[in-house]
Amino acid sequence: MAEGGDALDRIAAALERLAPPPPPPTDWLAHPAYVWGGTRAQAVPEPDALPLDALHGIDAQKVALRNNCARLASGAAAHDVLLWGARGMGKSALVRACVADVQRESPRALALVQLAPGSLPTIPALIAELAGVDRAFLLFIDDLGFGADGRAEMLALRSLLDGGVDPRPAQIRLAVTANRRAIVEREDTSGALHERDERDDALALADRFGLTLGFHPADKDTYLAILAGYLAPLGLGFDPEEAMAFAIQRGNRSGRTALQFATELAGRAGLRL
């Protein structure tokens, strides 16, 4: 029996040597941003973030979100934030830009943690991991869904924002983007019971955010002004009729469409945007 036990021990030791080592714990102080996959985080040493000055047509939203991020970084009271409204008007870009702008003044005070799709149920585990870190964190949920699976996510998020017996640390706040206007509209125009229930769920979620920022479709003048803001630093002009034709082809006038057309014009001129 002893010889058999020794053999099993040797086999176990050999298998242990062959097994890959466990991943090192995340250093939550080392990087400006992370992506949380549900069980561990991937560091992002150089996040994709435009300068705040490069975002046009959303001046009031820029001021409000930038101020909230600065308060969070400084240790002052800060809100959870809901950014809702038209697609392509800079909701996600603004979150990244505001965090990066605050980090220019105090690189280690605040980090952005984006949740990968499907990882929302693991937020409590993420918060538990971050709770003891001497740093502020903005948890970023981009494009919150509202389909069959999205409703479950909505309810889970609503429960998290409501709080519970174990309070959420003050240095951890959420920024959530959503395209659906129904998340903040209070008029009940639906006759279907399940649709009213979905609207009520969305409103109950929206009510739990201390800061709610709306993003609306750009009219013609705003779209052209956004485009001019992208091109002016390059010394480039544009034909308004061509710019409008580009927007019609894309199906909307938005900051994203303006950036795409600016990229086209910069490329034609051999410049980098």
Query: Which of the residue ranges 146-155, 172-181, 198-207, 227-236 has the most confident prediction, judged by mean pLDDT?
Result: 227-236
In the chain the domains, ranked by start, together with CATH numbers, are 33-215 (3.40.50.300), 220-268 (no CATH)
Residues sharing a CB contact under 8 Å with residue 172, sequence separation 6 or more, in sequence order? 127, 130, 131, 136, 137, 139
Where is pLDDT greater, at 195 or 262? 262
pLDDT band at 1; cut points 50, 70, 90: very low
Torsions phi, psi for 150 (to 5 deg): -65, -30
What is the edge-to-edge ordering of all strands in the sheet holding 136-141?
41-44, 33-36, 110-115, 136-141, 172-178, 81-85, 211-215
- Calculate the average pLDDT of the chain: 85
Q: What pLDDT sits at residue 147?
A: 56
**pLDDT above 90: residue 244:** yes
Reading the block at residue 100, the tokens are 């990066």
Q: What pLDDT sits at residue 248?
A: 94
pTM: 0.82
**pLDDT above 70: residue 167:** yes
Mean predicted confidence (pLDDT) in 226-233: 93
Q: What pLDDT sits at residue 159?
A: 76
- 58 touches 94 (CB < 8 A): yes
Report pLDDT digits (tens) over 115-158.
Answer: 998 888 899 999 999 999 999 999 999 988 655 556 667 777 87
Q: What pLDDT sits at residue 193?
A: 47
- 118 touches 174 (CB < 8 A): no
Mean predicted confidence (pLDDT) in 235-244: 96
pLDDT band at 186; cut points 50, 70, 90: very low
Q: What is the dihedral of CA 205, 126, 167, 139, to 10 degrees?
A: -50
pLDDT band at 20; cut points 50, 70, 90: low
Query: Which of the residue ranges 19-28, 118-127, 178-187, 259-268 has the most confident prediction, judged by mean pLDDT?
Result: 259-268
Q: What pLDDT sits at residue 129?
A: 95
